Structure 1
Amino acid sequence: MYGLRPPALDEFGLVRALQLHASQLEATAASLTITLCLPEQALGQLPAAVEVAAYRIACEALTNVVRHAGATACSVRVHLDGALELEVADNGRGLSPDQPAGVGTLAMRERAEELGGRLEISSGQHGTVVHARLPVPEVR
């Protein structure tokens, strides 16, 4: 069951679960500062699949920052406006243009596409930005 829905989402909700995950990563990567730009207003009742995808994409992107980027700063931005927008940006070394996508990158892309969303990754010598847009169906 853990593989389907992380317990932190049920216990705390998406925003708090992201805060806790970022805090855990900062504790293990002392040279990295993670800034969270999260909505002040509650996100409301998001579909479970959207919450899980957003959480997993953010966690994978943050893990990649810690493992590969050599970054000193990273920001996580979540915004809801017809869709859930998630952005993880770092000031690390960026991706090599000829570097093939790894398993984590493919998984992030698949999670977004399964929901009819998209995942874009841009990278340069001043860091990497992972941007996911996940549609949120209107509640009727």
Structure 2
Amino acid sequence: MDVTSGEVRVRRMLGIFAAGRIVNPLTARNQLVGGMIWGISMALHEEAARDRASGGLVSPDLAGYHFAANADVPIVEADWVDDPDPDDPVGIKGVGEVGIVGAAAAIANAVWHATGVRHRNLPIRPDRVLSAGTNVPEPGHAG
């Protein structure tokens, strides 16, 4: 996290999932990593901002909508534990969107650990980080 600009960047993300019986490991890993990247995007970029005067969307198309791009995607690793679904005859669970589940919470907790301030609204934009300040004592001062 850059304390002067308020920019939050994820350097590495690891997800371990109870994904059931995996039939195609390559596809499963790609689905999980894709969900994690989607979670990074949700936590740090995506917002359906509305114009206060008209109530319309500020970015009604993808040209002005911010989402994670290749430069925003860190080292993302996904793995799973063998945890077959007892209610499915083959033991399969869905892995389509499970990767997104903990991403935003993990990023928000990392920002909290870095600043001492909880951010409960997404996205965690630089202006929100800067305006929230910090509860971390300066070096050499007792907190």
Larger Rg: 2
The TM-score normalised by the length of structure 1 is: 0.26
Q: Which one has more relative contact order, counting CA pairs under 8 Å at least 6 apart?
A: 2
Task: Give the helix-richer structure, 1 or 2.
Answer: 1
Higher-strand-fraction structure = 1
TM-score by length of 2: 0.26
